[in-house]
Structure 1
Amino acid sequence: METVAILLVITIIFIARSLKVVPQQNAWVVERLGKYHATLTPGLNLLVPFIDRVAYKHSLKEIPLDVPSQVCITKDNTQLTVDGILYFQVTDPMRASYGSSDYIIAITQLAQTTLRSVIGRMELDKTFEERDQINGSVVLSLDEAALNWGVKVLRYEIKDLTPPAEILRSMQAQITAEREKRALIAASEGRRQEQINIATGEREASIARSEGEKQADINKAQGEAAAITALAEASADAIRRIAAAIEAPGGAQAVQLQVAEKAIGAYANLAKSNNTMIVPGNMTEVSGLIATAMAVMKGTPKA
């Protein structure tokens, strides 16, 4: 019984050391007698007990790595405290196992030195404006070096850029001054536009008034011309009627009678205009007018 139990235990140990189940998105590196032999893929794998052993286990997932903050000096000799986060992925488990003693430390150190080098070529203002360029430069430098470590650097993101307190105060003062400047410029532009609008409105109103006055003068002139034309036409029509009446039989005698009556009436009105009795200097004219009127009346045929 003891022999059977021992054999059973040995069998279990052999099976446990022979069968390896690798999880999804993982890769295990196997050494045979201390030398690299194979990389186990996800699923069930068979090993030779006591000869093969799993030396390294790697996750093939994307891994975020926090890069510690450090002090960088810009081109214009300003100190910046910079920290960031790096994303990488193991693409070659064999190189990740033997290319570096610790690829995580290697990537972290290389990221810090590369970041110092990139920021050292920029002025302070550019470091805030060119974050994408900084991130791209760090990723490019890391990716070239990480190929030997079996690692693919996917991206790098700066989490924070912190200048000294004095620089922060001066930057805040500069921002405040710039905002005040923009506010003053906006106010002056508003006043300028207001004056332009007022002048434009006055000019358009003046033009409208002058156009109205011009149209009124034109209308008045056209009305007066129409009135004069109508009066002239009425006068001409009256004269034509009078001329026609004179040319008719008895017309001349009617005209003479009317003239005599108007002359006598005029002398009568002249005499009544004041207390002085006005007597014509030549009474023959008055008597002649009366005689003419009487002759016309006598010579008018009765109906």
Structure 2
Amino acid sequence: MAVLIALAILLAFVVVLLAKTVQIVPQARAGIVERFGKYQQTLDAGLKIIVPFIDNVRYRIDLREQVVSFPPQPVITEDNLVVSIDTVIYFQVTDPVAATYEIANYIQAVEQLTMTSLRNIVGGMDLEETLTSRDEINTRLRGVLDEATGKWGIRVNRVELKGIDPPPSIKDSMEKQMRADRDKRAAILTAEGQRQSAILSAEGMKQSAILTAEGDRESAILRAQADRESQILKAQGEGQAIQTVFQAIHDGQPDQSLLAYQYLQMMPKIAEGDANKVWIVPSEIGRALEGLGSTMSEMSGIPKDLPGPRTRVDMGSTSPEVPSVDASKKAANDAVQAAIREAEEAANPGRARKAQSGTGDEPGGDTGAVPPPSQP
């Protein structure tokens, strides 16, 4: 039994001895070894052997980059406004021995140094500059911290201002100022938009007016040209029509009987007016027609001598058959006599019946007979 107890004690001593002798240091760590309370060596990562019960691993330092966030701290700006600023520090231990023996608590030291340096930097800026100069504050603060923590074996890689909170009253004023500034910019943009719209509208109206005026001018020119060509064609047509009619008259060789017949044809149309209530045909109608025919025969365009027209008008490929002059004269005389009798009967129906019965002859009276017009 005593042997077993001795073996157990020996085994426990061996285990403790091994535990004191063999040390395992993790990656990115450093072990500070002290011998009788004095610094002996620094253990790197891996399996290390030390003297048991003499050497002791007092500290294990993390060599990785560390991130520490500090709570908000009040800072007074140059214009005497208190703002709360919270910071974030990124640092790394480069010398484990210095970080162990040069400073008791390097994290707390970095925090206090950050606060004092931040008050010093922000104290020379006003509120607006503080809010808009974060990069400048970060750069200056990092330079101060890196210089101060170098002897502690610490390197400050980056400093960030997490937030800058002004007082509530200042926040309200800033919001009002920002709102007013945005309203001003909105009004300016609206005015610029309206101006651009008015300019574009005016330019559009100008172009429209120019195009309308050009269209009216071209339309007027085209209408004038069309009117001119229409008048020219109309005048040419009237001239050809007059020449054609004049040529037909000369080709027909009119005489006084034909003119008298045309006059008799126009007499009913003269009597068609509303004001012509009574229309009397005189008994001397034959003499009047004879005088009319003799007068019109002397007019220009109906000469007594018909040698033929000097200007011929193309009447077509075939010429119409014209009856002989004697037959035309006879037919015209017969038509004139018939028209005279019809006119006398229409003017005096009773007298016409007495003339037919043979009892209408009176001494010195007019029988209604009209001598035929003289032949040309």
For normalisation by structure 2, the TM-score amounts to: 0.64
d(CA) in 1 for partners of 2:69, 2:295: 143
Q: Which of residues 283, 297, 300 is equivalent to 1:286?
A: 297
Give structure 1 stretches of 5+ with no counterpart.
Answer: 243-250, 299-303
CA–CA separation in structure 1 for the residues paired with 2:189 and 2:304: 100
- Matched residue SS, 1:61: coil
Q: Does 1:129 align with 2:132?
A: yes
8 Å CA contact 1:260–1:293 kept in 2: the answer is no
Q: Specify whether residues 4 and 295 from structure 1 end up closer, same or farther in structure 2 by C-alpha distance, changes over 3 A only.
A: closer
Report the Cα offset of residue 217 of structure 1. Answer: 1.5
Question: For residue 11 of structure 2, what is the aligned residue in structure 1?
Answer: 8
Larger helix percent: 1
1:179 is matched with: 182
What is the identity, as a one-letter code, of the residue corresponding to 1:114? S
Matches of 1:168 and 1:284, distance apart in 2: 120
CA distance in 2, matches of 1:26, 1:259: 145
Aligned partner of 1:301 in structure 2 is: none
Q: Relative to 1, partners in 2 of residues 1:258 and 1:196: Cα closer, same or farther, differing over 3 Å?
A: farther
**Contact 1:28/1:57 (CA < 8 Å) preserved in 2?**
yes
Contact 2:260/2:292 (8 A) holds in 1 = no
Aligned match of 2:145:
142
Displacement of 1:184: 2.5
Task: From 72, 79, 84, give the equivalent of 1:81.
Answer: 84
1:129-149 per-residue CA deviation (whole Å, 9 max, x = no partner) reads 122222222122212222211
Q: Which has the higher strand share?
A: 1
Cα distance in 2 for residues equivalent to 1:189 and 1:115: 44
Q: Among 48, 51, 54, which residue is 1:51 paired with?
A: 54
RMSD: 4.0
Measured in 2, the distance between the counterparts of 1:161 and 1:99 equals 33
Instruction: Name the CA shift for 1:231/1:22 in 2 (closer, same or farther; >3 Å).
Output: same
| Paired residue secondary structure (1:154) | strand
- Gap regions ≥5 residues in structure 2: 272-278, 282-287, 310-323, 326-376
Deviations 1:257-280 (A, max 9, x none): 568679x85996699679897997
Task: Determine which structure has more spread, i.e. the larger CA radius of gyration.
Answer: 2
How far apart, CA to CA, are the structure 1 residues paired with 2:260 and 2:181?
97
Alignment of 1:105 onto 2:118: no
Aligned-pair CA distance for 1:227: 3.9
Matches of 2:298 and 2:12, distance apart in 1: 180
**Contact 2:76–2:122, Cα closer than 8 Å, also in 1:** yes
Q: Distance in 2 between matches of 1:175 and 1:216?
A: 60
- Structure-2 separation of matches of 1:167 and 1:87: 31
1:292 maps to a residue whose letter is: D
Amino acid of the structure 1 residue aligned with 2:100: S
Q: 1:228 to 1:42 in 2, by over 3 A?
A: same
Instruction: Pick closer, same or farther for the CA change 1:209–1:83 going to 2, 3 Å.
Output: same
Question: Map of 1:1-303 to 2, 5 A cutoff?
Answer: 1=3, 3-227=6-230, 265=259, 283=294, 286=297, 289=302, 291-293=304-306
Identity %: 36
Q: Report the Cα distance in structure 1 between the residues aligned to 2:260 and 2:192, rounded to whole angstroms.
A: 82
| Whole-angstrom CA distance in 1 between matches of 2:177 and 2:298 | 117
Following superposition, the deviation at residue 295 of structure 1 comes to 9.8
Contact 2:260–2:293 under 8 Å retained in 1:
no
Distance verdict in 2 for CA 1:212–1:291, change over 3 Å: closer
Structure 1 window deviating more from structure 2 (278-287 vs 199-208): it is 278-287
The amino acid that maps onto 2:55 is D
Q: Secondary structure at the match of 1:76?
A: coil
Q: Which residue of 2 aligns with 1:248?
A: none
* Partner Cα distance (1:146, 1:269) in 2: 140
- Name the SS of the counterpart of 1:68 in structure 2: coil
Checking the alignment, whether the CA contact within 8 Å between 1:260 and 1:292 is kept in structure 2 is: no
Instruction: Report if aligned partners of 1:138, 1:156 keep a CA contact under 8 Å in 2.
Output: yes
Q: CA deviation at 1:69?
A: 2.0
